[in-house]
Amino acid sequence: MRRLCIERNILVWIACSWSIVGCESLPLDASQGSNSAFVDSVLQSMTLEDKVGEMTQLTLGSIGVGKPYKLDEPQRLDTSKAFTALVKYRVGSILNCGNHQHTPEQWHEFIEAIQKYAQQKESQVPVLYGVDAIHGPTYTTNGVMGPQQIGLAATWNDSLVRENAENTAVQVFGCGIPWNFSPVLDLGRDPRWPRFWETFGEDPLLASRMGVAMVEGYQNGEVPIAATLKHFFGYGFTLSGKDRTPAWIPERELREYFLPSFKAAIDAGAMSIMVNSGEINGIPVHTNKFMLTDLLRDELGFEGVVVTDWEDVKYLYTRHMVAKDYKEATRMSIEAGIDLCMVPIGFGFTNSLLDLVKEGSISEARIDESVRRILMMKKQLGLFETGGMPPPLEDYPDRREFEGGAAQAALESITLLKNEGQHSTDAAQPVLPLGGTGKVFVTGPTAHSLNALNGGWTGTWQGTDTLHNTPGMPHLAEALTNRLGANRVVDQRLSMDFKTADIDRVVRSIQQTRPDHVVLALGEMPYTEMPGNEEDLALYPNQKALVRAIHQTGVSIIGVFIEGRPRTFNDVEPLMDAIVMAYLPGDFGGDAIAQVLEGSYNPSGRLPFTWPRHPSSHLTYDHKHTEEISADSSTNAFNPQYQFGHGLSYSSVEVTELRLDQTAYAMSDTIHLMVLLTNMGNRSTNELVCVFSQDSVASITPSVDRLRYFDRVMVGPHESMTLNASLPVEDLSFINADLQEVVEPGAFSLRVGSKTIAFNVNE
């Protein structure tokens, strides 16, 4: 029965012609019920060894020729290793890329070979392949690379996020990969954390909206793939700010701030979840049954696959020291609720789990729970129908289909933070836009780097290898030359570790060429995870010295930050006449920045985080009232460089009136808010409208502000328009001391821009 069932499915696949474009693409069946009987029949036919293999995930490097982290080139499968892993051990999932990107043709070779090995095992269950395609098909040669998540968050445009995720899905699926380890739904509330740029910023509502959009783009688009919510949960709020170090987060705060984005994405149908690599309150999350079973399964109702992060079961005994060996670590993680272990090298997990079941420490019924979820995911993704084989290579899409979405996202992310007259004199006009005349000098350590524009997880894990850059995409200096003309642009390269002599050379060049403006590209080169740990959040000393030296020339400075987190620079901020935050905008970022600087695009990006003024003052916008008390007892201690949601345009829009439909509301009511907006300039402006709430008195100390609603509107030149916003009273809720989500009656207010209006909520 089992073999006939599998063979019939393979014949169905052979008879079908799956296309990754057009109406014949394989739909993602997210329903559980319609597939249950099939999954149960497959599960009942499987041996214990088959099942444990399904719960094992290895990296591509473990079955390639050469060493796992240094494969022989050109990369290819090692027949002995592949047979051992995929046939003998029945490994059911493979991930990663063998340390660098591959062409679609190479991906097809890998996937087809892996699935042919899977057909040799008795169960013939196809392999589930996963990859980190976090800002486009990051491990596919010539893929379209859009902004990283922090840049997408700066657009505050969930429809654009959805479009880019859908475009990613088409390209990734075209390589034969149906599973994506994205999005990151951790909050970026501490810019010291090296994965800050992988988040949607510091606010739960913003992260929820963007996260749902990304999940829907991956899973509900023309060619769907499975999304993975990372990293459940509280991962990015460590005490030290360093990656994979301990966090102390009470359950109330976990529920108030860190859970909403995951809950929203689970409710949107996310198919898998990856677990926080760290520990919270002394308990590694990979062993936390309360989080992974009681909360995730029983309370939130998540039915999908829970996968570990890289080597995290092993780390329970090599780093966290809560288990004595691999076997005990395996038992603890399975009992906590893990379904699939990202091993990713070797068979220590597989052998340990087999031993645990055979000796009775873990029941086979518990194994069946996880394997059923994995098989269900494979069924929903259509692997049993296609045998896991890639779609026809001739149908791989033209990258030009997706360039528009990535380019638009880059444009909408660019955030103008400051725009003053030269040296801030009252009489001077703002420096930007540059306009059609005047010479521009371009320099700085990120001005000539496509790697800096893309960040980590681009071509390679750390994103630093220039060999894997997309051909033909311009860095900032090239883009400005393309936009302004070679006769207007002078550029000079600097490395990240430039010295005093290099600064002197730049100053001499400025004095000789006598430009009207200096575009100074500052920031960081790519990093992620532990290699991005920093001891100091301040902008690098040599970059500050460069700002000071150029300022002495008397030429206006336009600072452009290309970086994954806000580095503090308050001591040199006054020396720059205009400041732009570009985040990590991707391959189209150089041109996006250039369009904003020269004025063909009216900047619309807004900060998705609070930019600290000092390295040790990284408070979020939703801080508490006591955090505003200064040493002199005044209330100005919260003094960031730039506020959450801040951003300028070339034609400013002001909130000129704020009205409510009532002055008091019942708990079941919806608040109707009318916001009158007036464009004070002569250009159409894509304006962000944020509605913040203030709770006057609460049983848990209330935040000064909480974001409750946001929307983008286009306001024409000198136009006034009314935005009507609806806000259910229940959205004013918080988590109380009993861990319940409540709205307490009393006095509230809503703020939009500088306007605030009060109201009451009654019992």
Which residues are the active-site residues?
A: 309
**CB of 330 closer than 8 Å to CB of 356:** yes
**Residue 106 tokens, joined:** 């190479």
Contact, 608 vs 201, CB < 8 A?
yes
Give me the residues paired with residue 341 across strands. Answer: 56
CA dist., res. 257 & res. 19, Å (int): 42
Before 104, cis peptide (omega within 30)?
no
Buried b / exposed e along 724-742 (16+ C-beta atoms within 10 A):
ebebbbebbbbbeeeeeeb
Residue-wise DSSP of 256-323: IIISHHHHHHHHTT--EEEEPSSEETTEEGGG-HIIIIIIIIIIT---SEEE--TTTTTHHHHTS--S
Can you read off the two tokens belonging to residue 184? 């990151």
Residue in this structure with the two tokens 């051990």, named with its chain if needed: 89
DSSP secondary structure code for residue 78 in this structure: -
Q: Which residue has 């005994």 as its token pair?
A: 317
Would you say 218 and 169 are in contact if contact means Cβ atoms under 8 Å apart?
A: yes
Exposed, middle or buried by CB within 10 Å (0-12, 13-18, 19+), for 637?
middle
What is the separation of C-alpha 728 from the centre of its chain, rounded to a whole number of angstroms? 28
Where does 550-684 show beta strands of DSSP type E? 556-562, 578-583, 653-660, 664-665, 670-679
Tell me whether residue 67 is exposed, middle or buried, using C-beta atoms within 10 angstroms of its C-beta: 0 to 12, 13 to 18, 19 or more. Answer: exposed
Q: How many CA atoms lie within 13 A of 166 on its CB side?
A: 19
Tokens of 343: 């091993």
The residue behind tokens 């899905």 is 169
Q: What is the spatial distance between Cα 9 and Cα 350, in angstroms, rounded to a whole number?
A: 28
Pairing relation of β-strands 706-715 and 685-695?
antiparallel
Cα atoms in the 13 Å half-sphere on the side-chain side of 102: 23
Give the rounded distance of the alpha carbon of 160 from its chain centre. Answer: 14
Residue 348 CA to chain centroid, in angstroms?
Answer: 31
Q: Which backbone phi and psi does 404 adopt, to 5 degrees?
A: -60, -45
Sign of CA dihedral 463, 468, 470, 471: positive
Query: Both tokens of residue 234?
Result: 């509280």
Summary count for the chain: helices (H), strands (E) = 22, 28
**Cα 409 from chain centroid?**
14
Tell whether the torsion through CA atoms of 584, 590, 592 and 595 is positive or negative.
positive
Q: Which two tokens stand for residue 522?
A: 């500052």
Q: In the numeric block, which tokens belong to residue 437?
A: 């005349």
DSSP 8-state class, residue 568: B
CA 751 centroid distance within chain = 28
Nearest to 517 by CA among 499, 535, 539, 490: 490
